Each structure stands twice: as structure tokens, then as C-alpha cells.
């Protein structure tokens, strides 16, 4: 396998990375006492024993009880620090449901409307143009027939593009204008854009509004920068910087003390290393000690910018399992929470051949529909480095899997960890 790594697999949501040679065999550990989860234990430990991953961890929860954690390996190849519930992981597109839920909080408070045109808050989006041929000419365009709404941003149906998805002139225009989904590494890797990123969310939105849409809003599910743009909508609607809103209205109340857009230097000892496959080995592309996540980002990337711990992210999942609340701490009404985790797109939206073919989509995450092998009502999303998190408030279960390898489609860790956790939950 060569080192060519596409932006799509770098930062894409469920873009489902290879073998490596490690020195020692880290032991599997059930981090806390309680029920055992044999399928999950065997699954995650296998990657470490086969020397495919440095470290893995799964969190498993039922009802509103505390989660159980199963871990194997270390935070870095050959390292002596075992992964545990407080290890820090680049969760990339698992940031999207966080941003989506933040918007739903504002909807619950009457500060936003689900079907409100975003031009009410960002006037530059009032008269958008649409490419006549998707990914074709930037000048052969027509006026959009439909206004972009908050619902469209939540569900990737706004018609916006993504530098990791699009091709041709529109991809080049996104790159030139710094409309990038985040940063991965300091290394000059083939296939990785190291172009300058727009200096602020406000500038990101202004530049985006000047480019044509790839699709007519409301007609097609297309993975995009919509959750990044939603961060700017949240800023305007709340009157606060996007990251401040998350910190004050979500992370603080939920006790999420280890979720960052910028990892503090004091916490680098908990940060895992991210790897990419090369020549049958895993090459460190973002070592913890010099991680790009130690730098202050140009702006908080609402689509792929967060680092979090399993313990922290379970607090987010627990709030969703509690239908908007943890104990006496309520972030939104039960009605709004259930709406956020429901299918917000109708059957007319084209989804064939996409990440959500045959599925629905809610507030920043995929929603399983009746007939899904795992049952209906599963809400969740994954990250480009192999992470995945989900909750099913109908069944009262939640789970997450953590690893750090890019691109994530060369191992089946991300693709299977959800079904394995559900297997154990069904048997427990």
C-alpha cells in the first residue's frame, strides 16, 4: 500500500487504515468491573494482537447507567501508556452530531427554526447559484429554486460541496478559498491539501456564499461542509462564538472536560498518535507530542475539528439516551431531542450510492430505518480515523469505538464495531 491518502478518507464521516509492525503485544483489559462483553473484547483485541492497531477502546452503555469500557493496546506503537477512558482521540466527523445537537438546542429555545432560511441570519446566502452540471463549470449556473434552510445544513442536503468529495473546478475553488474541513498533519503527504484555511468562521461563510452550489437544495444527500457552515449560523443565532457556545451550553453542563478544538499542552500525555499505512506498516502522521491539534485552529471546525475522550463522549451519548437530559441537567426538551435523532429528510431526497443509501439522516448523524439489521432508531456517525459512536434511545443502548488510523477504509474496525457492540448488548 502506498502513502497516497485522499482528503475524502482523511476527513470524511463514515469513510470507512492498514497493517503495521509493532514491538510488543499490549494486553486487553476490561477497564472497569461489571459485565463482560466477549464479542467486543475479542474484536478490538484482535487488531492489537494482529499488530494492525496501536490501541483500541470501546464504550458500552445500557439505559442511563454508567458505561463499561473495554480497551487494548497503547496510545502509541511500542508505547507504555495504555489506552483508557481518558485517552484523547481525534474524532473528526463525530464532531458533526455535536454541532447538529447544538443547533437543535437553539431550535428548542426558539432562536432558530428547523425550516428557517439561513439567509435570515447570513444574508449572503439569499441568492445562491447552482451548477448546471455538478462538479462542472463554475460559470454555467442557474439561480437556486429553493432557499437553504437549517434542516438542509443538518442533513447534508443544502447542495454544498466538500473538498474531500468534489472534483474539477469546484474542488479547486474550495481549496483556493480555504474552504477546507480541517487539518490532519504537518507532513506534506500526497493527496492532502495543505492550503491556507479561511481565517474565521465568518470569512469561511462569506467565501462559501460566493461559490455556486453543486446541487439544488433539498434534492440530494451529498456529504459537505454544511456542519461547518452551521457553526457560523449558531454563532449568529446565539450571539456567541461557536466554540464558546459549545463550551458554555453543552460541554460545561454535561461535564465534558476533555473535549477540545485545541488540545492543551498540559494534556498531551493523554493524546493518542494517529497513523497512516505505508509499506505494510503504520507510519505516525500526527504524533501526540507534536500534534497539529496542539495548535489553535483558524476557527472551530464544526464538521471535523474535535478531540475527545471516550468518557467525555459517553456523556454526550448519555444525554441523547436520556432524551435531552442527564439527571437534572437538561439541554433540550424530550420532544426536540427525539426530533434531532429522527429522520429529517423525506423520500424525495436522492440517496442512492451515498453513505446513507437506504437510511435516514438526523441532526448531523445517520438514522437507521425499519428493516435495518440493528433495528430502527440508531443515531450516530463516525470519524475519519476509525472512530464510531451511536445511541438508540428507543432501545436504551449506546456505544462507541475508538482507534487512530487513516484512511479508515483499509480495516473493518469502524465498519463492524457498532454491530459487535450491539451483539454483546443483545446477549447481555
Q: How confident is the model at residue 32 (pLDDT cuts 50, 70, 90)?
A: low
Mean pLDDT of all residues in 248-270: 98
Of 209, 236, 243, 247, residue with least CA distance to 225: 209
| Cβ atoms of 103 and 132 closer than 8 Å | no
Q: What is the CA radius of gyration of the chain?
A: 20
> Per-residue pLDDT for 398 more than 50?
yes
**pLDDT tens-digit map of 375-396:** 899 999 999 999 999 999 999 9
Q: Which three cell numbers stand for residue 229?
A: 457552515
- Tell me which of 296 and 15 has the higher pLDDT: 296
* Global confidence as pTM: 0.92
pLDDT for the residue numbered 278: 79
Segment holding 99, helix H or strand E: helix 95-108
Give residue-wise pLDDT tens across range 40-98: 999 999 999 998 999 999 999 999 999 999 999 999 999 999 999 999 999 999 999 99
Place of cell 454535561: 254
Say how far apart CA 41 and CA 242 lie, in whole Å: 38
pLDDT above 60 (res 411): yes
What is the C-alpha separation between 25 and 296, in angstroms, rounded?
A: 35
In what helix (H) or strand (E) does residue 105 lie, and over which residues does it extend?
helix 95-108
Candidate from 25-34, 90-99, 159-168 with smallest mean pLDDT: 25-34
User: Residue 378 in 3-state DSSP?
Assistant: coil
395 DSSP assignment: T
Residue 389 Cα distances to 47, 195, 412, angstroms: 19, 30, 15
Angstrom distance (rounded) from CA 213 to CA 225: 11
And the C-alpha cell for 254?
454535561
317 pLDDT more than 50? yes
How far apart (Å, rounded) are the C-alpha atoms in residues 314 and 67?
7
Smallest Cα–Cα separation from 360: which of 343, 383, 337?
A: 343
Left (φ > 0), alpha (ψ -120 to 50) or beta: where does 202 sit?
Answer: alpha
CB neighbour burial string for 265-274, b if at least 16 within 10 angstroms, e if fewer = eebeebbbbb
Q: From CA 256, how far away is CA 95, in angstroms rounded?
A: 14
**How does the average pLDDT of the chain come out, rounded?**
91
Residue ranges and CATH numbers for the domains of the chain are 98-242 (3.40.710.10)
Cell of 52: 494492525
Cα-based angle 328, 332, 335 (whole degrees, multiple of 5): 110
CA distance 72 to 84: 9
Amino acid at each position: 500500500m502506498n502513502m497516497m491518502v485522499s482528503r475524502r478518507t482523511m476527513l470524511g464521516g463514515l469513510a470507512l487504515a492498514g497493517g503495521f509492525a509493532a514491538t510488543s503485544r499490549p494486553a486487553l483489559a476490561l477497564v472497569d468491573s461489571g459485565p463482560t462483553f466477549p464479542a467486543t473484547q475479542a474484536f478490538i483485541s484482535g487488531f492489537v494482537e494482529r499488530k494492525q492497531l496501536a490501541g483500541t477502546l470501546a464504550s458500552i452503555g445500557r439505559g442511563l447507567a454508567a458505561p463499561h469500557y473495554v480497551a487494548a493496546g497503547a496510545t502509541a506503537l511500542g508505547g507504555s501508556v495504555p489506552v483508557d477512558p481518558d485517552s484523547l482521540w481525534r474524532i473528526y466527523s463525530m464532531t458533526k452530531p455535536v454541532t447538529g445537537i447544538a443547533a437543535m438546542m437553539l431550535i428548542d429555545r426558539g432562536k432558530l427554526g428547523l425550516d428557517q432560511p439561513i439567509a435570515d441570519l447570513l444574508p449572503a446566502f439569499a441568492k445562491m447559484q447552482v451548477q448546471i452540471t455538478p462538479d462542472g463549470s463554475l460559470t454555467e449556473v442557474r439561480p437556486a429554486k429553493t432557499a437553504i434552510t437549517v434542516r438542509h445544513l443538518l442533513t447534508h442536503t443544502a447542495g454544498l460541496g466538500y473538498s474531500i468529495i468534489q472534483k474539477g473546478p469546484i474542488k479547486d475553488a474550495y481549496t483556493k478559498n480555504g474552504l477546507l474541513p480541517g487539518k490532519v498533519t504537518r507532513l506534506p503527504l500526497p493527496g492532502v491539501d495543505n492550503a491556507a484555511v479561511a481565517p474565521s468562521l465568518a470569512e469561511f461563510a462569506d467565501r462559501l456564499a460566493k461559490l455556486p452550489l453543486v446541487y439544488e437544495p433539498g434534492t440530494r444527500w451529498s456529504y459537505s461542509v454544511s456542519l461547518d457552515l452551521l457553526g457560523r449560523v449558531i454563532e449568529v443565532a446565539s450571539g456567541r462564538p461557536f466554540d464558546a457556545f459549545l463550551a458554555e451550553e453543552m460541554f460545561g453542563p454535561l461535564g465534558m472536560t476533555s473535549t477540545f478544538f485545541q488540545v492543551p499542552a498540559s494534556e498531551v500525555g493523554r493524546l493518542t498518535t494517529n497513523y497512516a499505512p505505508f509499506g505494510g506498516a503504520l507510519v505516525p502522521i500526527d504524533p501526540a507530542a507534536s500534534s497539529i491539534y496542539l495548535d489553535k485552529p483558524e476557527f472551530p471546525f464544526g464538521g471535523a475539528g474535535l478531540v475527545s475522550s471516550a468518557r467525555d463522549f459517553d456523556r454526550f451519548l448519555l444525554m441523547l439516551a436520556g432524551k435531552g437530559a442527564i439527571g437534572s441537567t437538561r439541554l433540550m426538551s424530550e420532544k426536540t431531542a427525539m426530533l434531532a435523532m429522527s429522520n429529517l429528510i423525506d423520500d424525495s431526497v436522492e440517496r442512492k450510492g451515498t453513505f446513507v443509501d437506504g437510511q435516514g439522516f438526523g441532526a448531523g448523524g445517520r438514522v437507521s430505518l425499519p428493516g435495518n439489521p440493528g433495528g430502527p432508531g440508531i443515531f450516530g456517525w463516525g470519524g475519519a480515523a476509525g472512530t464510531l459512536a451511536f445511541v438508540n434511545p428507543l432501545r436504551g443502548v449506546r456505544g462507541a469505538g475508538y482507534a487512530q488510523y487513516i484512511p479508515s477504509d483499509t480495516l473493518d474496525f469502524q465498519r463492524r464495531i457498532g454491530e459487535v457492540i450491539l451483539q454483546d448488548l443483545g446477549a447481555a
